[in-house]
A and B are shown apart, each in its own frame.
Chain A
């Protein structure tokens, strides 16, 4: 039997094609990309070795720092809001709506499946100031406030991006965290109730500690996704006004394909990868320490 389940030729046939495609189109390019970081040029004009110039350029480039700044601000604010709103909704599903939550869950989840470009075009119209007044500005006018040029000022554009992503993703995080809350054993909640814990106190002292692992995976998933934001920004503001909402991904895309600087583009991509890794490791380590402290 071991000869059949350990048949080398069969393993090669079953695993080979997937491993081959994956290696050729993902693993090899990852290392290939590293060699670009010490070169200058693009495939059409050719490449030329330039040492660490790209890295020096990156750290002295104000646009790069602006992009890092926007990426970090966006990732931190959105992760916080996504997880907080998602957790709030999940608690509402579990403790208030109970059996009846299925329909609400399904409806709040649906924007996740919509194409980002379509949602972004819709939000451009929702927040429009001129020539027509969109629903949001109409609402402000109704309250006696004047219309806001949402896409003309950096701060407003930032919050429209955040708002759109919260609208799209809070249902997703709610279902993710809901699955974690449902896994909490009945007996624990019941005994806490008997001990007199209720409402906010029950959530803070019993439910929250028990759902920390699933909250942690939600935070890691969210930070990794938000650091790589591309679709939302490209379709909603295209990095504007000016380049006030340009994340690293878009800066890398423009550098490479609009200016044809593949070397510098690869350097930015590498920095983005390092940023993602740093965050994941940082979150893991900081929570590990907390867990050992408590026990």
Chain B
């Protein structure tokens, strides 16, 4: 229940533990100095690797081998990025990731919201059992289903396409989505649906025009969480991409360093920059929602 509260409210989480105010003065400044230093070190540790990567993506191989790591790139040339997209085939990888992730995401959200509605708003025997059945799926490691799925996709001839990825992503994304959507629908007063039913709305209309708009924000947050899970997935993608032109961006990046004999530093850094760009951009704009969603996704039960 508290997870629903956490997500649906749009206000940022704020501390309400306010100890009595201290007098401000020079003593105060010095007593707070260790804490400030700690925070500066902390932020430096979190941010510096990203800055280093970004600067590195503009350096030449020669600069990497002969200059210290803190040196700035001599020019802002995009050669490394061009190399990533021409010889590294990152365009194909990004396309594959988009084809695999976004349809899966749409199916997960629609089916998950409908199932959550049926399990929480509608009244029928055995809905508790079905909810538990979905919950069991959150617990079981993906390794348990990989091998049978490999057989199934092999025998049905789906191997060699992106369908195995889409189908597996949907199945793995559903349990958490159904569970979270059920939690959100539980927070909606039942009277709303009873009223819409009395007004003559069919159950599908109650779901589509009354239920969905009410959990719109929650649906968006769940979508964000699932997007990060699917976009950053390595295990499923590594298992089912049997051909190199099916690689998603993560599998492509994993194989990127192996492509050359010696490490090509510049292109490697540019490839890392390309692969973190999408998620970093989303986080820049939607960080509060991402934080709420990702943490709520873990406190299930």
Contact = CB atoms under 8 A, between A and B. Distances in A.
Contacts of B39: 97, 104
A94 interface: yes
Interface stretch (B72-80, B81-89, B139-147, B215-223): B139-147
A273 B141 contact: yes
B18 to A, nearest CB: 7
A259 B111 CA distance: 37
Contacts of A13: 204
A135 B69 contact: yes
Contacts of B250: 115-117
A-B residue pairs, 7 tightest by C-beta:
A25-B171, A29-B148, A18-B115, A32-B148, A29-B145, A14-B118, A15-B118
A29 B137 CA distance: 11
B60 interface: no
A121 B46 contact: no
A265 B239 CA distance: 13
Interface string A219-248: 001001000101100110000000000000
Nearest to A138: B69
Interface stretch (A58-66, A147-155, A171-179): A171-179
A19 B290 contact: no
A26 B271 CA distance: 34
Contacts of A178: 13
A50 interface: no
Contacts of B244: none
Interface of A: 1-2, 4-8, 10-11, 13-15, 17-19, 21-22, 24-30, 32-33, 36, 43-44, 92-99, 101-102, 104-118, 121-123, 125-126, 131-135, 138, 167, 171-172, 175-176, 178-179, 181-184, 186, 189, 193, 214, 217, 221, 224, 228, 230-231, 234-235, 249, 252-253, 256-257, 262, 265-266, 268-270, 272-273, 276-277, 280
Contact of A122 (B53, B172, B298): B53
A11 B120 CA distance: 11
B106 interface: no
Contacts of B37: none
Contacts of A184: 17
A225 B9 CA distance: 28
26 contacts: A5-B197, A15-B118, A21-B170, A29-B148, A32-B148, A106-B291, A112-B294, A113-B228, A113-B279, A113-B283, A114-B279, A115-B249, A116-B250, A117-B275, A121-B257, A121-B271, A121-B272, A126-B52, A131-B262, A133-B69, A189-B17, A228-B143, A234-B234, A235-B234, A253-B239, A280-B139
Given A14-B118, A115-B249, A193-B20, 15 more contacts: A1-B194, A5-B193, A7-B203, A10-B202, A14-B204, A26-B175, A33-B144, A95-B19, A115-B231, A125-B56, A135-B52, A182-B16, A186-B18, A230-B235, A276-B139
B33 interface: no
A33 B148 CA distance: 6
Contacts of A186: 16-18
Contacts of A132: 64-65, 69, 265
Contacts of B117: 14
A18 B43 contact: no
A214 B115 CA distance: 28
B6 A36 contact: no
A285 B115 CA distance: 32
B16 A171 contact: no
A43 B280 contact: no
Interface residues of B, number: 108
A122 to B, nearest CB: 5
B171 A99 contact: no
B123 to A, nearest CB: 5
B51 to A, nearest CB: 11
A277 B298 contact: no
B45 A167 contact: yes
B147 A172 contact: no
A21 B46 contact: no
Contacts of A179: 6, 13, 295
Contacts of A2: 123
A270 B144 contact: yes
B15 A94 contact: yes
B150 interface: yes
Contacts of A109: 287, 291
B1 interface: no
Contact of A21 (B13, B171, B265, B290): B171
Contacts of B140: 26, 30, 273
| Residue with the greatest number of chain B CB neighbours at <10 A, chosen from A109, A118, A123, A125 | A118
A184 B290 CA distance: 23
B290 A269 contact: no
A94 B17 CA distance: 7
Contacts of A110: 46, 280, 283, 287
Nearest to B290: A113
Residue among A125, A126, A273 with the highest chain B CB neighbour number at 10 A: A125
A26 B234 contact: no
